[in-house]
Amino acid sequence: MPSTIKTKLADKVALVTGGSRGIGAAIVKRFSEEGAEVAFTYSTSAKRADQLVAEIQAEGRRILAIEADMGDEEAVRRAVAKTVDTFGGIDILVNNAGAFAAAPIDQFSMEDFDRLINVNIRGVFVATQEAARHMRDGGRIIHIGSCNAVSVPFSGGSVYALTKGALVSFTKGLARDLGARGITVNNLEPGPVDTDMNPAAGPGAAGNLQHMALQRYGHVDEIASFAAYLASPEAGLITGASLLSDGGYSA
């Protein structure tokens, strides 16, 4: 049976892009636990999306998985429309889906460049634009950026940093654009987090840890809890901010 306990996201509708695994899946779970009805997109992880849906439905909560490549403008717009049609509106957008590639600038392929721009910038813009058209006053927009917008202590990361740096200024401008409607816009910037794409026991871990004051990788639940706070009424005065959660990576 659905829980009758009212939590801080009760009666809210959220859309999380790239929500089938890693940080995105943790945010989906946390928002659902906090009482929100949640839709999430996925592109290649259909099995994980199905598992996440089953897990949340087993708790008696409403959940919607939407197949959508965040580099595809029409797919992004359809995802927002399906969320609104299913749940009757939208209150929270989390732009979590992202792409990564690294190479020296003189070897960086245009294929990788276009993919990073399309997913990390264009996809965020399209999702935000479409969600803003439907979002109820007092809503929340949260970008999942990266500490590499602040610090890039490795070679080959310039283009990725370019895309994540763009979110910093986009966040500030959006906060002004949407502030009159009571909609807050913030950019959460994780450092190294233990996921399939960047495992704490992976080959790149030692290089990351040498830059971290806390000498450990983050956990997806730590990022999800931060996102839940930014989505809650308690964070109503925070907007236009880029907020690090990186274990001192950029300290």
What are the structure tokens assigned to 197, written together? 């794409």
In 37-89, beta strands by DSSP E: 37-42, 63-67
In the chain, beta strands by DSSP E: 13-16, 37-42, 63-67, 90-95, 135-144, 184-190, 241-245
Q: What's the Cα-to-Cα distance from 121 to each of 31, 44, 175, 219, 246, rounded to whole Å?
A: 24, 20, 17, 25, 22
Q: List the helix and strand counts (H, then E) for the chain.
A: 8, 7
In 106-203, beta strands by DSSP E: 135-144, 184-190
Of residues 58, 59, 19, the one with CA closest to residue 38: 19
Residue tagged active-site, from 42, 160, 217, 249: 160
Strands 135-144 and 63-67, how do they pair?
Answer: unpaired
Active site residue 249: no
| Measured distance CA(93)–CA(101) in Å, rounded | 25
| Measured distance CA(28)–CA(88) in Å, rounded | 18
Do the Cβ atoms of 65 and 20 come closer than 8 Å? yes
Active site positions, annotated: 160
